[in-house]
Chain A
Amino acid sequence: MSAHGHSDDGTDFAHPMPLPVLFGVFIALVILTIITVAQASLDLGSYDIAVVMGIATIKACLVAGIFMHLIYDKPFNIIVFLSSFVFVGLFVIFTLSDSKMTSPSFEPKVDEPAATAGM
């Protein structure tokens, strides 16, 4: 297969990631995982979920940017991928606000007795 020469179009479009970068990102990800696990034993109150999601988002950005090669990718691909999160945001926000407003009317706060609830 590789007998075919690769100078046909004159450009080499491959962009191999340097190994130190890959290792660095991996180590950063592991450290961030350790931080996430460690902070779970601290009581941060209502900031808890924000901290957890913040760390997860940093990790996600590292994976997407370096491992998925997104920061060197074509802007159109970046737009396509990031636009999905815009729609995820819309979807989640609308569904959550709807459920927050309507669910007390159909979601009982306390379980009914098991005998009437059935199996």
Chain B
Amino acid sequence: MRFRLILRPHSEPGGFGRPANWFTFHFDTYMRGRPNSGGSSANGFRHMATIDSLSSESETHDEHGHDHDHPAWLAHHFDTPEQQFDSGKLGIWLFLVTEVLFFSGMFCAYAMFRMLRPEVFEGCSQFLNTKLGAINTGVLLFSSLTMAWAVRCAQTEEYKKLVVMIASTLSCAMVFLGVKSIEYSHKWGMGLLPPGSYFYDEANPHPTMQQIVDQHGFSESTAYFLTHSLYYLCAPFALLLVGVFIWLVYSKVTDKQFQYACAKPLLVVCLSFFGGVGLGMVLESGGEHSEHAVAHVDGEHAGEHGDAHAEDHAHEHGDEAGDETHAEADHADAVVASAEGNDVAIELLAESDLNTGAKAMLEAKQAQADMATGQIVPPGVEADLGIHKVERDVQTKRQAGVFFGIYYCMTGVHAIHILAGIGVLVWLLVRAIRHDFNRQYFGPVDYVGLYWHLVDLIWIYLFPLLYLIR
């Protein structure tokens, strides 16, 4: 007992390339035992009672009211494979719209903070390793290529290639996560964290566990996590690798062909995470020197209040006391600095995590002030050295912390999307090995592909916005 209603709007499409029913809105009511109810609500639509277009098979099966009048991959509420594909495609596009809007919230937060504090972004972006970001961009672009290729293979029914392409996409996703975990663990060890837990100290960028506990007030377990975070990040993937390996051996021993065929590519996928970790380590250690040099120069430029630097400053001025022409500008500033008096110095003292550093800075300031006696500062001269520079330092808990908060939020949510993508790609891989797809039913591959490309699209914007700020 089957009655099928298809309601189409009056305007039939046309002139848009292929004569597809792109704007056709299908209410496909499928009623058992309740004929003719519900059709009245569709005013303004032309009613068309159609028979199933797969009629040759459908007619024979209506009598036992079963779903076998269509191939297993065509859901019974769709007339044609194309209709099923188009409905699914519209659905996935709508989902991608919600994804775009969802990410736009984070991009908006980024734009706001960058508009308010451009210097914080310039300063903090130096801590992001451009090499790692660029490699990850390349890896994601390549995975997009293999994904698009996989869609093509599903459409042309090249099953072997389809499995290879999906597995390559998965491997690229794992490499991406491996590189990412190197980036994260490196930053966590340096204390480049969101506000509240940010504890980066230029004088000691790589504190030991004990120093994190003593100087920054973290609990021992937190400090252990921060200094050993790479192991924690790798642990789930290591467990996964071991699990897949056991599965592979088990399916080989018990001669389960299908499971063996699934476990083989998945083992490669799990291994490629550690390939990514290795790649990240090589690049990170290669980039270590330059990255820190940049950070150091930046720190000096911004007026460092680390102890060593302040002491150098004091000695330098003490030795060159006679060289008045050279030190003229400095002297003028020192007067301004001393005029502002102890308040600023106390602030500085309080702001510094290392008390010795602040004391040395005080001494340096005192030395400058002593040397400057007798110098005249014309009113209106903008003095920019000495204590005033501290304002420009962006490596503070609050400011740099917000940058890293945004950084972790955006890249973290992106990484969660990668994880979700890995999940659905594994599902696709199993189905591809099962030969589920054909040239009339490749929707799932296409939909996952669209999702994957959107994740890539977001990274295309994230990479220059976070890593490439000067």
Determine the distance from Cα of A102 to Cα of B338 in the docked complex, in whole angstroms. 35
- With A13-B20, A48-B470 already in contact, the answer to whether A96 and B112 are too (CB < 8 A) is yes
Q: Which of B93, B108, B112, B438 has the largest count of A CB atoms less than 10 A from its CB?
A: B93
Judge whether B375 is part of the interface by a CB distance below 8 angstroms: no
Q: Which residue of A lies closest to B17 (CB)?
A: A72
A interface, over-half SS: helix
Contacts of B465 in A (CB 8 A): 52, 56
Contact for A9 among B82, B96, B145, CB less than 8 A: B82
- With A26-B145, A48-B470, A111-B399 already in contact, the answer to whether A14 and B350 are too (CB < 8 A) is no
Query: Is there an interface contact between A2 and B130, defined as CB atoms closer than 8 Å?
Result: no
Query: Is there an interface contact between A56 and B460, defined as CB atoms closer than 8 Å?
Result: yes
Q: How far is the CB of A103 from chain B (nearest CB, A)?
A: 6
Query: Is there an interface contact between B398 and A117, defined as CB atoms closer than 8 Å?
Result: yes
Stretch at the interface among B205-213, B324-332, B450-458: B450-458
What per-residue 1/0 map shows which CB atoms of A75-110 lie under 8 Å from chain B? 111001101110110011001100110010001001
- With A67-B147, A76-B23, A87-B101 already in contact, the answer to whether A95 and B435 are too (CB < 8 A) is no
Q: How far is the CB of A94 from chain B (nearest CB, A)?
A: 10
Q: How far is the CB of B197 from chain A (nearest CB, A)?
A: 9
Judge whether B225 is part of the interface by a CB distance below 8 angstroms: no
Query: Is there an interface contact between A95 and B108, defined as CB atoms closer than 8 Å?
Result: yes
Determine the distance from Cα of A111 to Cα of B400 in the docked complex, in whole angstroms. 11
Query: Is there an interface contact between A60 and B457, defined as CB atoms closer than 8 Å?
Result: yes
Query: Is there an interface contact between A75 and B16, defined as CB atoms closer than 8 Å?
Result: yes
Judge whether B409 is part of the interface by a CB distance below 8 angstroms: no
What per-residue 1/0 map shows which CB atoms of A1-23 lie under 8 Å from chain B? 11010101101111111010011
Q: Which of B141-169 contact A (CB under 8 A)?
A: 141-142, 144-145, 147-149, 151-152, 155-157
Q: Which residue of A lies closest to B197 (CB)?
A: A119
Query: Is there an interface contact between B54 and A8, defined as CB atoms closer than 8 Å?
Result: yes
Q: Which of A19, A36, A111 has the largest count of B CB atoms less than 10 A from its CB?
A: A111
Q: Which residues of B contact A (CB under 8 A)?
A: 16-18, 20, 22-23, 53-54, 56, 71-73, 80-82, 85-86, 89-90, 93-94, 96-97, 100-101, 104-105, 107-108, 111-112, 115-116, 130, 134, 137-138, 141-142, 144-145, 147-149, 151-152, 155-157, 196, 217, 347, 350-351, 353, 391, 396-399, 435-436, 438-442, 446, 449-450, 453-454, 456-457, 460-461, 463-465, 468, 470
**A60-B461, A67-B144, A115-B350 provided; 13 other pairs, C-beta below 8 A?**
A8-B54, A13-B18, A13-B440, A14-B439, A33-B134, A37-B468, A43-B470, A52-B464, A76-B22, A84-B96, A85-B100, A88-B100, A91-B105
